[in-house]
């Protein structure tokens, strides 16, 4: 994923390798974080393998230089004969045309590069910041989870936060010494003036995961698939649940999953149907919540299980069901470690359930987020599963 430019052909150029590499790493990480929302909300992310690659644009990876003719609006240069009070320039913009003209321009655009990141690398960035809250609350039954352990050696691949800078410099110095020996053995007396970093020099910390006993946990995904949930909203909801399930399975072992889809009636479905089957009809929020409650009563007694229901909807509910929905959500909150409610692309012409839930539900374990556009998806995940939610 790293990009290096070798300027060895120009020995007169100043060695800016350290600053260039630092700036490049900052730009790559900044672009990944800025584009997480767009990547996570892609329909194509669902069902992809861990080696699926996503392209991320990176702006500004170029050297600073002086250019002519691109002054900002209101900035002009005089000839030296001006008097006090004279107005310089016509105040026009140097954009692609006149103000308000959206036609084709004649100015050069910004340099934009692309880097690739796999779904597996993406999850590396995600798991650093997220964690299930209160996972160790129930101690009656135990599962095995993996927690971040100590650093155990080095490896040639990894994510930038785990870059071993000292080891990378040592690897570069060893390569330089090897090149010097090769030149001497060949009878070439040539002093090496520039020796930039290359990708083969990079070393990353290898983190060994330590097994840790935790309590039983079940994730219950509940999704509104009614007619008001158009294809865009359903893709967004499925992306939310897919990333959430990948994160949970990556960081924790043996966690149970249940999937519930509902319109005016709800049913328990398998994982494939949950992520791929489309339905339509009216909306009774209480039907999905009550189905989750029935599942808990039958299979997951709260005194032995950590329970994490997450519900996604556009917040549009049939009015006659509102009171039943409020009662069901409060009951589910009372037996859950965390209840997450995500409202996706809400309608602007009506007051949705998001506002009523926040007003009337006072359980501390109730977490609600509103996703008004695709880029909000990553922020919603961080709110639901941030480490700060974990009680000591």
Map out the domains of the chain with their CATH numbers: 17-63+113-128+150-207 (no CATH), 215-389 (3.40.50.410)
**CB of 119 closer than 8 Å to CB of 45:** yes
Per-residue model confidence (pLDDT) at position 284: 95
Per-residue model confidence (pLDDT) at position 129: 59
Q: What is the 3 state secondary structure string of the chain? A: CCCCCCCCCCCCCCCCHHHHHHHHHHHHHHHHHHHHHHHHCCHHHCCCCCCCEEEEEEECCCCCCCCCCCCCCCCCCCCCCCCCCCCCCCCCCCCCCCCCCCCCCCCCCCCEEEEEEEHHHHHHHHHCCECCCCCCCCCCCEEEEEECCCEEEEECCCCHHHECHHHHHHHHHHHHHHHHHHHHHCCCCCCCCCCCCCHHHCCEEEECCEEEEEECEEEEEEEECCCCCCHHHHHHHHHHHHHHHHHHHHHECCCEEEEEEECCCEEEECHHHHHHCCCCCCCCHHHHHHHHHHHHHHHCCCCCCEEEEEEEECCCCCHHHHHHHHHHHHHHHHHCCCEEEEEECCCCCCCCHHHHHHHHCCCCCEEEEEECCCCHHHHHHHHHHEHHHCCC
From first CA to last CA, the distance across the chain in angstroms is 38
Cα–Cα distance for residue pair 244/332, rounded to 1 Å: 20
Q: pLDDT by residue for the chain (392 residues), tens digit each?
A: 455 555 555 544 445 566 666 776 677 777 776 666 666 666 555 655 555 666 666 555 554 555 565 555 656 667 777 777 777 665 554 444 444 454 555 555 555 556 676 767 766 666 665 666 655 455 445 555 555 566 778 888 887 878 888 999 999 889 888 888 888 888 777 777 778 888 889 999 887 766 655 557 889 999 999 988 988 888 888 888 988 887 787 777 668 899 999 999 999 999 989 988 878 889 999 999 999 999 999 999 888 888 999 999 999 999 999 999 999 999 999 999 889 999 998 765 567 899 999 999 999 889 999 988 777 887 888 888 764 444 43
CB neighbourhood size of 390 (10 A): 13
Residue 311, CA atoms < 13 Å, CB-side half-sphere: 32
Place of tokens 């779904």: 119
Angle at 104 between CA 98 and CA 105, to 5 degrees: 65
């Amino acid at each position: 994923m790293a990009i290096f430019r070798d300027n060895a052909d120009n020995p007169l150029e100043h060695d800016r390798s350290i600053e260039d590499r630092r700036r490049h790493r900052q730009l790559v990480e900044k672009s990944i974080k800025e584009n997480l929302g767009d990547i996570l909300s892609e329909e194509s992310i669902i069902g992809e393998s861990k080696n699926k690659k996503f392209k991320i644009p990176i702006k500004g990876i170029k050297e600073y230089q002086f250019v002519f003719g691109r002054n900002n609006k209101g900035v002009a240069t005089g000839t030296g004969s001006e008097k006090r009070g004279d107005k310089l320039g016509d105040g026009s913009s140097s954009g692609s045309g006149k103000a308000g003209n959206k036609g084709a321009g004649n100015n050069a655009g910004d340099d934009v590069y692309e880097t690739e990141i796999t779904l597996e690398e993406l999850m590396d960035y995600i798991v650093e910041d997220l964690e299930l809250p209160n996972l160790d609350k129930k101690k009656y039954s135990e599962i095995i989870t993996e927690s971040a352990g100590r650093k155990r050696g080095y490896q040639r691949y990894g994510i930038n936060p785990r870059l071993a800078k000292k080891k990378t410099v040592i690897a570069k110095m060893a390569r330089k010494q090897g090149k010097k020996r090769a030149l001497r053995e060949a009878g070439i007396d040539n002093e090496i003036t520039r020796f930039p970093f290359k990708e083969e020099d990079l070393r990353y910390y290898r983190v060994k995961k330590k097994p840790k006993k935790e309590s039983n946990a079940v994730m219950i995904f509940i999704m509104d698939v009614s007619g008001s949930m158009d294809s865009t909203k359903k893709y967004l909801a499925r992306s939310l649940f897919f990333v959430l399930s990948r994160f949970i399975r990556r960081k924790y072992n043996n966690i149970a999953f249940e999937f519930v889809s509902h319109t005016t009636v709800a049913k328990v479905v398998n994982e494939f149907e949950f992520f791929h089957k489309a339905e339509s009809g009216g909306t009774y929020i209480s039907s999905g919540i009550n189905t989750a409650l029935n599942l808990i009563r039958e299979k997951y007694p709260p005194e032995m299980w950590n329970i994490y229901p997450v519900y996604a909807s556009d917040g549009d509910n049939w009015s006659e069901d509102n009171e039943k929905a409020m009662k069901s959500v409060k009951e589910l909150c009372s037996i859950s470690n965390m209840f997450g409610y995500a409202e996706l692309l809400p309608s602007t012409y009506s007051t949705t359930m998001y506002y009523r839930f926040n007003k009337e539900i006072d359980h501390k374990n109730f977490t609600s987020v509103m996703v008004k556009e695709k880029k909000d998806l990553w922020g919603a995940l961080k709110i639901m599963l941030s480490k700060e939610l974990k009680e000591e």
